Structure 1
Amino acid sequence: MNLTADFTVIGAGVVGASIAFGLLRRGHSVVVLDGSRADPRASGANFGLVWVQGKGPGVPEYQRLTRTASDGWPDYAAEIAGVVGDTSGSLAYERNGGLTFTFGEDGFQERKNQLNRLHNERGADGDDHEMIDRSEIQQMMPDFELGNDVSGASFCWRDGCVNPLKLHAALLRAIERFGGTICFDAKVETIEKNDEASWTLRGQKITVSTGHVVAAAGLGTKEIANQLGLDVPVRPQRGQVIVSQRMPRVMGLPASTLRQTADGTFLVGATKEDVGLDESTSLAAAGQLARNATRITPMLKDVNVVRHWSGLRVMTPDGAPIYDFSETASAAACHSGITLAPIHSDLFVECLLGNKNKHELAAFHPTRFRSAT
């Protein structure tokens, strides 16, 4: 198959699909190439949080970017739902705030101090979080039984959640509705620079001629970016999640390690393991996740686990996203593809097109790692 497009996005996960969506809605032709089925994937194993609190220690620009993304999520979700004709609310996007539970008085004070440090790094731009005690949690969620060790929580009104699988599926449908082409199982094998303004991408089943290549292939972005003359140092981090049987809705707010979905199941997560590309699950991790969950609420003590999965997060050296640009190529990599989706469909695309100065994303250029050594 031979294709031609203004832009070719390598990677059909949430990051790549959001970028493609943003390019298409601005009138550009786009081909999206999804890799081999054996490639590591993060979008299919995501906790679904749209999260602000606690992110960006040492990187105040990331704290601000995350808040901009969160504020853009209501319009982003509504636009996607409108494009695909979803009137049932299947994305299950909610922005009612979120919690990070604390244990004991020392844990409460430690969390308070952490958020104060982040606030001081970010500068005085108003507070979107507060520390709440145990009784205030119960007022917010009167049917949710708290474990004896829970002393309180941090609450951020900007936090929320979404169904990540429904979001991903809706993005892919939106791309097709706008006339984009998605090629699955189309791993790029060679990338050739034809001249100053075009590339040829080849795989076993496809050849694409394009003016600009966007590398957004998760952990595969590093290798692809190198071929494009860009720099994206990323590494894998395994996260394991367990899922409970369905229960009556009692948890109205998501938490950083526990949330109840719209269908009543509880998601319990997630481990942070540096094990290379090993995507296996372990009973030891499941046991630790279960203990953490029952420490938060004894309601889960006798509940059945119906699923246990793992996925590989895309991690950068400082935890903040990486954005790199040239005239005919660009790259995006991050571990918060859900939260930053509005940024990728709007600000990243505007910088890529030259409609906004790239200095707005300059703090996320990979040169920051070279200057730090």
Structure 2
Amino acid sequence: MAGRGIVIGGGIVGLSIAIGLASSNMEVIVLDGSDADNRASYGNAGLIWVQSKGADHLPYALWSRRSASMWPEFSERLLEQTGIDVEYERRGGLSLCLDETELAARRAMVDQVAAQLGTQNDVEFVDAAFVRDRLPGVSPHVLGASWCPADGHVNPLMLMGALKKRCDALGVTIRRNSRVEAVRMEGSHLTVMGADFRMRGERVVVAAGLATEKLAATAGMTVPLKPVRGQIVVTERMKRVIDYPTPTIRQARCGSVIFGNSHEEDVTATGTTLPVMASHAQRAMAEFPFLASARVLRSWGAIRVMPVDGKPIYARSIDCPGAYAVACHSGITLTAVHANIIGPAIAADCLPRAVATLSPERFDAVAHH
């Protein structure tokens, strides 16, 4: 064994990194909270979305695309290793425009991404005919869309199950109801402190959702986050007609349509509100009129983990050597790089150069500007 790795947080991000650590021959313990905790991993729509990621920051754009490119093999390997089909699909994604204002904004985004990516650009603006060829049930009022062939989606609940099963197979110990209070050095020992336990490890990764900010600070790391509530609506199972996801709508393999993309900042309570649900339904019907007759089966609200500037944060502690923190709102998209690159890098006590500009040092630069 290459030593003990302790991951604080048992969501998508934490389990992905735990797999990377365990695959690097570390003994891995995941300290997870309770089922009553706010869990972004259970509240997302399952998009693997890159077309708008990093429009103003090239390293983030490339990092997202690197993960998306790994997803086909990653999902196949999970199926072979766990027997769980995470329902991954990668046919491309469309961001639909219903009026001239949306059209202009979308064109501007496409131009910005193209300027960032240069010859690596994979996003283009497409006309209404292109959209209708791929989405025959789309509204005639759709004027055009941005299109990216790298976009896709996955069943997040099946993904959680597959990651958990893979962790089990690798010998990862997952301890539920383990409330962590701090990460500190005790002499020369990196130590995780709980209300009723102390645990030492060669590596500690804080990936505890919104709790990451407070816990990372105990190890001298700055991880500024804000809560953003998102509300989702799920319909009955219907004939499969939406083969290409949008930022607001995707149709699961079982036929249920999942829609909603609200961003309610500084809201910490889960749950749903009628005005937001109504807005989601209006947008869904405006894009796909046939949804007007669909029955809604359930809805939910979950608290997203949002870095204050919207970009992932990869922190390495100076005060507590061997301690790291990871926080992002795109945990599904980045699952493949977290398992295949970040986990093994942390096992080797480093972070890859690809995320150098995604460190907390960028906030120091802003503060001193």
User: Does TM, scored on the shorter chain, surpass 0.5?
Assistant: yes
Tell me the distance in 2 between the aligned counterparts of 1:236 and 1:110.
Answer: 26
Render the CA deviation track for 1:303-328: whole Å, top value 9, x for unaligned: 11111100111111210000001331
SS at match of 1:278: coil
TM-superposition CA deviations, 1:169-205 (whole Å, max 9, x none): 110111011111001121113544223343143344x
1:149 offset after TM fit, Å?
Answer: 2.2
Aligned-pair CA distance for 1:70: 0.6
Residue in 2 that maps onto 1:62? 60
* Counterpart residue type for residue 181 of structure 2: E
**Helix, strand or coil: the match of 2:210?**
helix
Q: Which residue of 2 is the match for residue 240 of structure 1?
A: 231
Instruction: Indicate yes or no: 2:149 matched with 1:151.
Output: no
* Preserved contact between residue 127 and residue 145 of structure 2 (Cα < 8 Å): yes
* 2:36 corresponds to which of 38, 41, 46: 38
What are the equivalent positions in structure 2 for 1:286-365 lying under 5 Å apart? 286-326=277-317, 327-354=321-348, 358-365=352-359
Instruction: Name the residue aligned to 1:166.
Output: 158
Residue 8 of structure 1 aligns with an amino acid whose one-letter code is I
In structure 2, the residue matched to 1:125 is 119
Cα–Cα, structure 1 residues 199 and 321, in superposed 2: closer, same or farther, change >3 Å?
same
Match of 1:111 among 106, 117, 130: 106
- C-alpha contact 2:206 2:216 (8 A) present in aligned 1: yes
Contact 2:86 2:154 in 1 (8 A): yes
- Are the counterparts in 1 of residues 248 and 259 from structure 2 also a CA contact under 8 Å? yes
Letter in 2 for 1:79: R
Match among 158, 171, 185 for residue 179 of structure 1: 171
Give 1:58 shift.
Answer: 2.0
Q: Look up the equivalent residue of 2:106 and give its one-letter code.
A: R
1:276 offset after TM fit, Å?
Answer: 2.9
Q: Is the 2:59–2:354 contact (alpha carbons within 8 Å) kept by the matching residues of 1?
A: no
Identity of counterpart residues, as a percentage? 35
Task: Return closer, same or farther for 1:16/1:109 CA change in 2, 3 Å cut-off.
Answer: same
Matched residue, 1:51: 49
**Aligned equivalent of 2:213, options 213, 222, 244:** 222
Provide structure 1 residue ranges, at least 5 long, that are not aligned to the other structure.
Answer: none
What's the CA shift for 1:358?
4.0
RMSD of Structure 2 on Structure 1 (CA): 1.8
Kept in 1, the 8 Å contact 2:272–2:299? The answer is: yes
**How many Å separate the matches in 2 of 1:289 and 1:352?**
40
What is the DSSP-based 3-state SS (H/G/I as helix, E as strand, rest coil) of the residue aligned with 1:43? helix
Contact 2:235/2:257 (<8 A) preserved:
yes
For structure 2, which runs of at least 5 residues remain unmatched after alignment?
none
Matched, 1:368 2:362: yes
Asked if the contact 1:190/1:203 (under 8 Å) is kept, the reply is no
C-alpha distance in structure 1 between counterparts of 2:62 and 2:294, whole Å: 39
**Whole-angstrom CA distance in 1 between matches of 2:181 and 2:19:** 24
Rate the CA distance shift 1:118–1:271 in 2: closer, same or farther, 3 A: same
Aligned residues: 363
Deviation at residue 57 of structure 1 after TM alignment: 3.1
2:131 aligned partner, one-letter code: I
User: For residues 357 and 291 of structure 1, do their structure 2 counterparts lie closer, same or farther at Cα, with a shift above 3 Å needed?
Assistant: closer
Instruction: Tell me the residue number matched to 1:282.
Output: 273
The change in CA–CA distance for 1:197 and 1:233 in structure 2 (over 3 A counts) is same
| CA 192–114 in structure 1, closer or farther in 2 if over 3 Å, else same | closer
Alignment of structure 1 residues 70-89 onto 2, 5 Å = 70-86=68-84
